[in-house]
Structure 1
Amino acid sequence: MAHEEDPLEHERASWKPSPGLAVAVTDPVHTPEVPPHRERVTDKDPEAMKRAVRTVYTLFYLSVAASIWAIAAYMLFPIEDGSLVSIRDNNLFIGIGIALALLAIGIATIHWSKAIMSDKEFIEPRHATRGRDSTRAAAYHAFDDANEESGFGRRAMVRNSLIAALAASILPGLTLFRGLAPQDVDPVAELSHTMWKEGTRLARDPEGTPILASEVTLGSAFHVIPEDLAELGHAEGYLEQKAKAIVLLMRLLPEQLVPGENKMDWTYDGIVAYSKVCTHVGCPVALYEQQTHHLLCPCHQSQFDVSRGAAVVFGPAARPLPQLPITVDDEGYLVAQSDFTEPVGPSFWERH
């Protein structure tokens, strides 16, 4: 029987790769070359470089002037009278000063990087690991090179004006802190007295509706103000009085409460009332977790245990929340037995 020839075998034997295909398979991949460096005007013309340097430090000093203006505007346009015109002028002129100060810093920094700092391209090979002495020395040299290329250590006017602008930009913010608290006021005396007094009914915030003890269900929480404060309306001093007198009211099972010393009769049938003003920096403590009986301050996460006299269980608060002694009147409404027996709010005054 004759052997039949495979028609594909001849093709396989005669096949040879094309030259183009061989090049594509065997040639290594080449790293693209760095494009040729394009010199800037400031690289070619020393006068242009001087103008760029003058522009940068002029902008930095303009930032300093704007920061000083913001401080001056705080004093030139006071808002003690509380009128809309004075508030508008105060916000407008202080805002213009702060905005111009920060804008000048930003523009100057960008112009510095684009026109003055070295912009030559280079390739930095990767290193597998680091930790050798030579590597550490190379890092030090990198900082030196960065200093040389940026001109930070060499261009005194640019460096000094930048430092002055950054330092001055902080001053308006520090100046504005002056208005956060009254001047020439004893904080202990100011925070030791609120609108709560014996017989004052606890009212819902903000409507001012008195609260019946029967309305406070197990696990509930009420935001509370003195009824007298609600009657005051939004007259002068309303916000200041409310900031000190706000209270959070909760109800637990009476057996879950662990009253502190001399506070055995400060609650009514498991109902307790604590100041809402955090003893850390004064944020409103308004988040109540009824399963753990914890109150949470949302600003810095201080936590207080309602069942144990609002003792601090977590966070930076320095002392428990002040407790408001409460009872009920003849009509069943919750009333205060007295004012708080300790200052409310932040405990910074204790450092004295």
Structure 2
Amino acid sequence: MLSVVFAIFAPLWIPMDYLLLESEDIGVIAFYRFSLFAAMITLLFINNVRKRNLQHSLFCLTLLIAFPAIFYTASLFQLVHSNTSLIGYSFIPFLLVAILSVFPLTILESVVLGACLILTLLYNDFFAGTLFSLEGFKDLWLISTLLIIALWANQAQLHMLLRLYRQATRDPLTGLLNRRVMMERLSELTEHWESNSTRPPVSVLMLDLDRFKRINDTHGHLTGDKVLQSFSQIMKEELRNSDILTRYGGEEFAAILPGTTIDNAMKAAERIRARCEQAWVTSKDNEPVRFTTSIGAGELKVGEDVSEVLQRVDNSLYEAKKTGRNKVIQAC
């Protein structure tokens, strides 16, 4: 959207240039303005045709700041020795710093982009001979103040977005990913897996707390919450940071293990089962409450979609529950 604004207003200022600039500068500045217009239209095209990710967005933002900064520098080089007013030009670095506050950037990203704009301003002040003047000091003070405000706005936006993202993707009780995110991640993994000639192993675990309803009915939901939290902590400790851990629903959990064979997945599942067998939480009456888990495990097969692998693993989990609970069964 900002690229559209720059693209529109860059040529719209040309009539003012005819009124304010000397005749020998008008053609050159008009060329610069149409070049900025073309650059912004190109940026709009780049932003819309490519698949967006964090790196792509940061690249487009850098260009959004760089194109007007280059226009500003080129225009000042052309106009610095003329006697015309620089209305419509001298404010550009301050505008670009203010634009930074619109985006939820990290401190490092904001400081790097802001420092580049400050250096651009200082370089042009030096070229114009105003760097060590009162005017140059005023410009430096103003742009530094705007950058500090932009940094504060960046961090406020970033923290708000991260908080909203966590609320949208995490289970509030256990801190694990929710089912929707797991399904998206598993779909991405299967698509990448099918297109990868080497096809590294991907295993899936489905875990269910045994007789969890009885725990809630006997000891209350607060104790049940403690069990869920304790179980999720065991999963975090026994599995890797790269594994995708999910509260699938109620007392049912799931884990996606990229790069893990079924044999290693079975070993990890057995570690979790054994830990649960020894674990306990304290009830509201200070009584120890023990819990166990049943686990189904399976490895992604060629040509298998998300629903099929989950169904296979869920069937093995059901088999574990049906044949006595507190066990790990491998999916067929």
TM-score for both structures, normalised by structure 1: 0.27
Which structure would you say has the larger Rg?
A: 1
